[in-house]
Amino acid sequence: MEKQKIEFNLPANLLFSGITRCLADEIFSYVGFTKEWSSRLKLVVDELFMNAVRYGSTQDASTVHIVFIYDDKEVEFRIDDDGTGSQKTTAEELKARIAKNSNHNDVTKTSGRGLALITQIWTDKFNVEKSPYGGITLSFVKKIEKTPPPPPAIIQTVITKPPTRSTQPAVQDIKEPVATYNISLEGDIDPLSIEKLAMPVFEQVSAMAEGSRLILDFTNLQYINSTVIGHLAAWYKEIHRKKCQLVLKNTSEQIRDVLDLVGLKKVLIFQ
């Protein structure tokens, strides 16, 4: 296959992240990536889009430029912003920040850590450079993978387990929770739905009594991004402080893959 190029522009608004994800998923599947790899790379694209909109653009006034280049060997993704965002930075400054974030591994640092960690682990080449549009170009290259990915490498996080000989968090020793609360998470992931999904969980976590249990049902949620990961980390920390349980129910393989990557799978309970 000769190299093919798909290029398009979107307004700098996070509500368009769904369009980018859908197209990315279609392209990665079309060229031959397995379902698992397509899911991973879709998350990478989503993180880079959110970074370009949040930090490199002026909402609705700027244009984000997106390019996919692919053949039967590899896929390249490029995204450019115009550099008019509130957080002015150069390509060299962003490179240094990414390198720093790669070392501290705090899952509550959503966009910075997500950008640093997932692009370096899940792609073959990641580059940051000055954009001809005035801002920064973020790009990655990934050779086509036709077999499922290996288990994620073990990543150490700042979430610490209590002293115990067991490999499971101490909260699992609670045999009969004082009370069990169930919340179902469902819908598309975008800036509005994330806060709508998260608010009842934050309220429930805040109100939970010591020894109780919160079950989050992921049956109708097949995708999470770094913002959701950050929320999960915050919920876990607060629930663990209260000696309660946080249980995830009916999580997809793709979601478990992401949680494994960032270290949360080791401390959360799954049904």
Cβ density class 143-174: b for 16+ within 10 Å, e for less: ebbeeeeeebeeeebebeeeeeeeeebebeee
The end-to-end CA distance of the chain, in Å, is 44
Residues sharing a CB contact under 8 Å with residue 247, sequence separation 6 or more, in sequence order: 213, 214, 215, 216, 268, 269, 270, 271
Q: What is the C-alpha to C-alpha distance for residues 150 and 257, in angstroms, rounded to an integer? A: 10
pLDDT in tens, 184-225: 988 766 666 787 888 999 999 999 999 999 999 999 887 888
Which CATH code fits 170-270?
3.30.750.24
* Buried-exposed string 3-17: b where 16+ CB fall within 10 A, e elsewhere: eeeeeeebebbbebb
Q: Supply the pLDDT for residue 161.
A: 40
d(CA 30, CA 4) in angstroms, rounded, equals: 12
Domain boundaries, given as residue ranges, for the chain: 4-143, 170-270
Confidence tier at 95 by pLDDT (50, 70, 90) = confident
Cβ contact 78:24 at 8 Å: no
Question: Which whole number is the average pLDDT over 157-184?
Answer: 54
Residue 207, CB-side half-sphere exposure with 13 Å CA sphere: 9
Q: What angle do CA 220, 151, 236 make, to 5 degrees?
A: 55
Give mean pLDDT, residues 30-36.
93
Q: Which of 155, 154, 173 lies closest to 163, judged by CA?
A: 173
The reported pLDDT for the residue numbered 142 is 97
Enter the tokens of residue 92.
């060299």
Write down the pTM of the prediction.
0.81
Query: What tokens were used for 263?
Result: 């270290």
Confidence at residue 157, expressed as pLDDT on a 0 to 100 scale: 40
Which of 101, 106, 102, 103 is CA-nearest to residue 237?
106
Cβ neighbours around 110 below 10 Å, total: 19
The CATH architecture to which 4-143 belongs is: 2-Layer Sandwich (3.30)
Summarised one tens digit per residue, pLDDT across range 112-128 is 444 566 777 889 999 99
| Tokens matching residue 58 | 């002026």
